[in-house]
Each structure stands twice: as C-alpha cells, then as structure tokens.
Amino acid sequence: MDPIAVTCENRPGVPQALTVTQLARVIRDTIRANPILSRILVRGEVSNLQRAPSGHVFFTLKDATAQLSCTLFREDAEMLGFDLEDGMDVVVSGDVDVFPRRGSVQVLIKAATPAGVGAFWAAYQKTRKKLAAEGLFDAARKRPLPSYPRKIGVVTSEVGAVVHDIVTILRRRYPIA
C-alpha cells in the first residue's frame, strides 16, 4: 500500500489531499530514512540556549547565513563533560529530524565538542568592550529605576486574552493607574 495514499470521501470537484499530519509524517520519515542525515557533524555557534527543568537543553546552532534548532536530551547532556554556553563555537554530532507538531526541522544532538569562541560572541564582546571603554556601563551613568513604571508596552494581538489579562491585573494591583 502506498504510504501517501489518502482515504477520503469521493466528492466531485474536491481533490484528494494529504492531511497536515500525513505530510509532516512523510517528511519526517523521508528525513529519518536518509543515512546522510544520521550522525551528521555540524559546526556552528550556540545561541538562545535554554535549559528545561527536565534537563533537556534547547538551542540554536548558527553561522553567518543560516541557523538550525537543536535539542540535547538530558541523558546526552549529562554525558557531554562541559556546559554549553551562548556564544560557544561547537562541533555537534546528531540526527536531523522533524518535529511534526511544530512542523520544524531540528538536530537531535548526541554529542558535542567545544571548538572555541563563536564569531557572533566575539563581535558582541568586542562591542561590549568598546562601549565599556567609553564609560557607558559605569555605575555613575545609571539612572535609578522609578518606584512605579510610567508606561508599559505590550506587544501582542489586539484580540488576544493577554491584553485583557494585563489590564485586569494592573487595575487590581494599581487601581489609580
């Protein structure tokens, strides 16, 4: 049987189509079946590193023109022998996979080796050092925070529940606002 075959009602004028789930699974299965994408070595700079309470580590591996989402499961993270950090240049070994629920490609990391400081991190540190030399981070330049914020900016959908929740909480906590 064709794995892509779709069983749906025959209705005149309505073409048969894959469901989103079926297409995501076909893509995932195609990627998993490709030996080139298994145990692949990739070098890049770690960014957006997040450690989940479960022990899993999520980060972006990037270079000058591309980026990949990466997942390092707890068991593999414990075996690394070093802590991944933002800005670290690494060589990772892993399997390319698709996460159907989000429809995103990711690399499931099995191992990693430090390869130095990444170019983006080095540029950030260089800029930070230059600004520090200009005295822009001196404590004397810092302004004290006001007791209460004068303005609050919210970036969200106009119709989302977030705006309503924020307004409700602000009215409850600061009725004179």
d(CA 85, CA 48): 9
The per-residue pLDDT for 1 is 42
pLDDT at 8 over 60: no
146 backbone φψ class: left, alpha, beta (φ>0; ψ -120 to 50):
beta
pLDDT at 4 over 70: no
d(CA 28, CA 105): 9
E strands, the chain, are 40-51, 57-62, 67-72, 88-99, 104-117
Q: What is the pLDDT of residues 45-84, one digit of tens each?
A: 999 999 999 999 999 999 999 999 999 999 999 998 888 9
Mean pLDDT score, 81-88: 88
Residues 95/39, Cβ–Cβ less than 8 Å: yes
Q: Structural domain boundaries of the chain? A: 20-122
CA angle 106, 72, 94 (to 5 degrees): 60
Name the average pLDDT for the chain: 85
Pairwise pLDDT comparison (123 vs 130), residue with the higher score? 130
Residues 28/97, Cβ–Cβ less than 8 Å: yes
The class that CATH gives domain 20-122 is: mainly beta
